[in-house]
C-alpha cells in the first residue's frame, strides 16, 4: 500500500522525509509478529503508528488494546495486565481477566513503557519470550498469543543506567525501533497542519476557517512546539474561537501566545515589523555603524578647522607611542601639504582627497597603553535612550528608528529601567 493512501486512511498530515521514513518502517514490519518499540516525544502520534501496524497485520480482525502504563498505579498494574483470582487481594471479589488474556490473537499497545514498575517488567519479559503469564493470586501458568507494540517518550538507555528499566527487556522490545519525528523536526508540515485543524474546526462549528499571513507562518515554523501536534491543535482552536479576524497575523499570535517567540536556539530571534527575523544584537550592530558615521563626521570637522585656520598640529602622545605611523583622515582637498610651524618633522599632507599626519620620530619608548573598556549593554541603553528622546517618548517611532519591533523595545525599556 502506498504511503499517501495510508496517510489519507489514517488522517496523517505531512510530507516530511522523517515522517515518511517512520511510516515506511511501520508498513514493512506490520505483516510480521516482531515486537516494535516506537520512540518519540509526547504528542507526536505514537498510538496512530501502533494502530497502523495492527490494521496492516494479519491480526487486524482481532482485538487491539491500548494501555498507558504511566496511568495505572503500581499496585494494580499486574492485575490489569495479567488478571487476578478471586480473593487475591482486598477488593478482589471475583476472577478478572487481564489485558493479555483478552487480547490473545490480537495486539497490545503499551504506551509509556518506561514508567512500568520493575516487577511488572519481569512478568512482561516472560510473556515476550514464551507467551506465558500467571494471574495475581494464582499458580497456574496460562498461555497467550499476543503481539506487543511498546512506546516511550523517555530515553530507556538512561533509565537502564539508573536501574529503573531492565536491559534484557529493552532489547526484547526494540526488535524493530521506529522514531516518530517531533513537530519541530518537520517545520514544513506545520502550516499544513494549521490549515487542517482550522478547516476541521470551521466544519464542526459551521464557521469560516482562520488562516495565517506570511509572517504568522514564519512565526509558528520557528517555534519549538514542546507539546507537538496536540499543542498546535490547541492553539488553532483557541484562535478560531477568540479572534474576530479570520486572517491571523504574527502580532495577533504573539499577543495571545507570547511564548511563541521562544526559540530552541543559542540566541533568541525576533520578528520585526517588516517581517524579517530580528535579533537583539542587531541593535548593537546599528549602534556601531552610527558610531563609525559620527567618527567620520568628527574627522571631517577637524580637517575643516585645520584647513580654514591654517592650524599647526601638535604631538599627541598616545599616537607617538607607536613609532613612525601615518594617520588617515577624510578630506575634501587634494595634493596639498601643510607643515607644522614648530621644529618637528611632523607634517600634514593631502593626497588623493585624504589627509595624512606623518610622524617622523618615536619620542616615547616606554609609554603605557590605556585601553578603554566598552560595555555593549551601556551602548545599547544609550542608543535606546537617544531614540526615545529624539521622538519625545513615542515608542513606535523610536522602534522604527532602531530597526526593532515595539515589543522588543518595551522589553528593553523595562530591562534598562528607562
pLDDT in tens, 121-175: 999 999 999 999 999 998 899 999 999 999 999 999 999 999 999 999 999 999 9
What is the rounded distance in angstroms from the CA atom of residue 404 to the CA atom of residue 361?
49
Specify the domain boundaries for CATH 3.40.50.300 within the chain.
Answer: 3-181
Q: Return the pLDDT at 334.
A: 43
Query: Does 46 have pLDDT greater than 80?
Result: yes
Report, as an integer, the average pLDDT of 227-246: 92
Q: Find the mean pLDDT for residues 305-317.
A: 61
Across 389-418, average pLDDT? 80
* Residue-averaged pLDDT of the chain: 81
What is the reported pLDDT for 376? 65
- pLDDT band of residue 217 (cuts 50, 70, 90) is very high
With CA atoms as reference, report the closest residue to 57 among 33, 21, 78, 36. Answer: 33
Q: What is the 3-state secondary structure (H, E, C) of the chain?
A: CCHHHHHHHHCCCCCCHHHHHHHHHHHHHCCCCCCEEEECCCCCCHHHHHHHHHHCCCCCCCCEEEEEHHHCCCCCHHHHHHEECCCCCCCCCCCEECHHHHCCCCEEEEECHHHCCHHHHHHHHHHHHHCEEECECCCCEEECCCEEEEEECCCHHHHHHCCCCCHHHHHHHCCEEEECCCHHHCHHHHHHHHHHHHHHHHHHHCCCCCEECHHHHHHHHHCCCCCHHHHHHHHHHHHHHHCCCCEECHHHHHHHCHHHHCCCCCCCEEECCCCCEEECHHHHHHHHHHHHHHHHHHHHHHHHHHHHHCCCCCCCHHHHCCCCCEEEEECCCCCEEEECCCCCCCEEEEECCEEEEECCCCCCCCCCCCCCCCCHHHHHHHHHHHHHHHCCCCHHHHHHHHCCCHHHHHHHHHHHCC
pLDDT at 323 over 50: no
How large is the average pLDDT for residues 177-196?
Answer: 94
- Residue range(s) occupied by CATH 1.10.10 in the chain: 281-285+372-416
Number of other residues whose CB lies within 10 A of the CB of residue 332: 11
Q: What is the pLDDT of residue 381?
A: 82
Most confident of 235-244, 284-293, 308-317: 235-244
CATH entry, 3-181, from 3.30.390.50, 3.40.50.300, 3.10.129.10, 1.10.10.10: 3.40.50.300
pTM above 0.95, yes or no: no
**CATH 1.10.8.60 residue spans of the chain:** 185-264
pLDDT confidence of residue 88: 83
Q: Are strands 83-84 and 211-212 parallel, antiparallel or unpaired?
A: unpaired
Question: What is the C-alpha to C-alpha distance for residues 117 and 115, in angstroms, rounded to an integer?
Answer: 6
**Would you identify the CATH topology of the domain 185-264?**
Helicase, Ruva Protein; domain 3 (1.10.8)
Kindly report which listed range (9-18, 51-60, 182-191, 360-369) carries the lowest average pLDDT score.
360-369
Please tell me the distance from the alpha carbon of residue 368 to that of residue 48, in angstroms, as a whole number: 72
**If DSSP states are collapsed to H, E and C, what string results for 165-190?**
CCHHHHHHHCCEEEECCCHHHCHHHH
Instruction: Give the residue from 51, 4, 59, 5 showing the smallest Cα distance to 180.
Output: 51
Is 281-285+372-416 a CATH 1.20.1530 domain?
A: no
Direct distance between the N- and C-terminal alpha carbons of the chain, in angstroms, rounded to an integer: 64
Q: What percent of the chain has pLDDT over 70?
A: 76
Q: What strands, in cross-sheet order, belong to the sheet with 176-179?
A: 64-68, 107-111, 147-152, 36-39, 176-179
Question: Interhelix angle for 3-10 vs 46-55, to 10°?
Answer: 110
Amino acid at each position: 500500500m502506498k504511503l499517501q493512501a495510508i496517510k489519507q486512511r489514517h488522517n496523517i498530515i505531512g510530507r516530511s522525509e522523517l515522517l515518511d521514513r517512520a511510516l515506511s518502517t511501520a508498513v514493512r514490519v506490520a505483516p510480521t509478529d516482531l515486537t516494535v518499540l516506537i520512540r518519540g516525544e509526547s504528542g507526536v502520534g505514537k498510538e496512530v503508528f501502533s494502530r497502523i501496524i495492527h490494521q496492516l497485520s494479519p491480526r487486524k480482525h482481532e482485538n487491539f488494546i491500548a494501555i498507558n502504563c504511566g496511568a495505572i498505579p503500581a499496585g494494580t498494574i499486574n492485575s490489569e495486565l495479567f488478571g487476578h483470582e478471586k480473593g487475591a487481594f482486598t477488593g478482589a471479589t471475583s476472577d478478572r481477566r487481564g489485558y493479555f488474556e483478552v487480547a490473545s490473537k490480537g495486539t497490545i499497545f503499551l504506551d509509556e513503557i518506561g514508567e512500568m514498575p520493575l516487577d511488572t517488567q519481569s512478568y512482561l519479559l516472560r510473556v515476550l519470550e514464551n507467551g506465558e503469564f500467571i494471574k495475581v493470586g494464582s499458580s497456574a501458568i496460562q498461555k497467550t498469543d499476543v503481539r506487543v507494540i511498546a512506546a516511550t517518550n523517555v530515553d530507556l538507555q538512561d533509565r537502564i543506567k539508573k536501574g529503573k528499566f531492565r536491559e534484557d527487556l529493552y532489547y526484547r522490545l526494540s526488535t524493530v525501533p521506529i522514531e516518530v519525528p517531533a513537530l519541530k523536526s518537520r517545520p514544513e508540515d506545520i502550516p499544513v497542519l494549521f490549515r487542517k485543524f482550522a478547516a476541521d474546526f470551521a466544519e464542526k462549528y459551521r464557521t469560516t476557517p482562520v488562516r495565517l499571513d506570511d509572517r504568522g507562518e514564519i512565526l509558528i515554523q520557528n517555534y519549538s512546539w514542546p507539546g507537538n501536534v496536540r499543542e498546535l491543535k490547541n492553539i488553532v482552536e483557541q484562535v478560531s474561537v477568540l479572534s474576530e479576524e479570520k486572517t491571523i497575523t504574527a502580532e495577533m499570535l504573539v499577543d495571545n501566545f507570547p511564548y511563541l517567540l521562544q526559540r530552541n536556539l543559542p540566541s533568541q530571534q525576533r520578528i520585526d515589523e517588516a517581517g524579517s527575523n530580528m535579533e537583539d544584537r542587531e541593535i548593537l550592530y546599528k549602534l556601531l555603524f552610527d558610531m563609525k558615521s559620527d567618527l567620520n563626521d568628527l574627522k571631517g570637522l577637524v580637517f575643516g578647522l585645520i584647513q580654514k585656520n591654517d592650524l599647526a598640529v601638535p604631538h599627541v602622545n598616545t599616537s607617538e607611542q607607536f613609532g613612525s605611523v601615518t594617520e588617515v583622515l577624510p578630506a575634501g582637498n587634494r595634493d596639498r601639504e601643510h607643515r607644522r610651524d614648530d621644529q618637528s618633522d611632523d607634517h600634514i599632507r593631502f593626497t588623493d582627497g585624504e589627509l595624512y599626519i606623518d610622524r617622523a620620530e618615536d619620542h616615547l619608548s616606554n609609554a603605557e597603553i590605556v585601553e578603554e573598556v566598552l560595555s555593549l549593554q551601556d551602548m545599547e541603553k544609550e542608543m535606546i535612550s537617544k531614540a526615545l528622546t529624539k521622538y519625545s517618548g513615542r515608542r513606535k517611532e523610536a522602534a522604527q528608528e532602531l530597526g526593532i519591533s515595539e515589543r522588543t523595545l518595551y522589553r528593553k525599556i523595562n530591562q534598562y529601567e528607562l
